[in-house]
Amino acid sequence: MTPTRKKRLYLIAAMVVGIAIATGLALKAFNQNLMFFFSPSEVAAGKAPQGQRFRIGGMVVKGSVHRDPESLAVTFDLTDYKHTVTVSYTGILPDLFREGQGIVAHGTINGQGQFVADEVLAKHDENYMPPEVAQMMKKSGGKEGQ
């Protein structure tokens, strides 16, 4: 191999290694950022991971929304008509958040079995139901709506 060829080979190898390392880092971060979806029943059965962020979905129980009169803290119950999980959240709820409707929250479960949400989503299709929640309801056999 001529010296210039050798040099080129090294440079190309260095580039490939660089890209490979960056790709590896990106993939590692990818695995850490995957968020799994659990229903209130699965959470009640202890299937949800402790100390790791996940998503929970269900219907907001009517009359369960309590606001703190001083701050933006709010708690509400989320149900799949079999089990109920209490969600606490501080911040502004989305426009489409309503009692008796399906929502999805992101967050972690704390020691008391309460779900501490850092994000509440109420994206939905025409039936006011996030797709995950709709499918979960179908599976759990719960009635949609009231």
Partner 1 sequence: MIPELGQFAVILALMLAIVQAVVPLVGTMRGYANWSAVARPAAAGQFVFLVIAFAALAHAFLTDNFSVAYVAENSNSALPVAYKFAAIWGAHEGSLLLWVLILGGWTVAVAAFSRNLPDHMVTRVLSVMGVVSVGFLCFILFTSNPFTRLAQPPMEGRDLNPLLQDPGLVMHPPVLYMGYVGMSVAFAFALAALIGGRLDSTWARWSRPWTTVAWLFLTVGITAGSHWAYNELGWGGWWFWDPVENASLMPWLAATGLIHSLAVTEKRGSFRIWTVLLAILAFSLSLLGTFLVRSGVLTSVHAFATDPTRGLYVLGFLTIVVGGSLAIYAWRAPTIAGGNRFEFLSRETMLLGNNLFLLTICAFVLLGTLYPLVYDALGLGKISVGFPWFNVMFLLFAPPLAVVMGLGPLTRWQSDDPQALWRRVRSACLVSVLVFAAFALYHFSWAGLKVALGIGLAVWIAATTVVNLRGRVKPGTGLAGKWRILRRQSRSYYGMLVAHLGVAVFAVGIAAVSVWGIDRNVRLGPGDSADVGGYTFHFQSTKNIAGPNYEADQATVLVTRGGERVAVLYPQKRRYDASGQVMTESGVDGGLTRDLYVALGEPLGDGTWSVRLYTKPFVRWIWGGGLLMAVGGVLAISDRRYRIAAYRSRAHSAVQGRPA
Binding-site ranges for partner 1 (CB under 8 A): 7-8, 11-12, 15, 19, 22-23, 25-26, 29-30, 32-37, 53, 55, 67, 70-72, 91-93, 95-96, 123, 125, 131-132, 134-135
- Two structure tokens written together for 138: 């179908």
Residue with smaller CB distance to partner 1, 32 or 112: 32
Residue with smaller CB distance to partner 1, 30 or 146: 30
Nearest distance from residue 111's CB to partner 1, in Å? 24
Cβ burial of 10 (10 Å; 0-12, 13-18, 19+) is exposed
- For residues 117 and 56, give the distance between their C-alpha atoms in angstroms, rounded to a whole number: 9
Residue with smaller CB distance to partner 1, 8 or 82: 8
78: closest CA among 127, 40, 124? Answer: 40
- For residues 143 and 128, give the distance between their C-alpha atoms in angstroms, rounded to a whole number: 14
| Amino acid letter, residue 43 | V
Nearest distance from residue 144's CB to partner 1, in Å? 14
Nearest distance from residue 145's CB to partner 1, in Å? 15
Cβ count near 112 (within 10 Å) = 8
Nearest distance from residue 94's CB to partner 1, in Å? 9
Residue with smaller CB distance to partner 1, 82 or 118: 118
Which residue's structure tokens are 């759990």?
Answer: 140
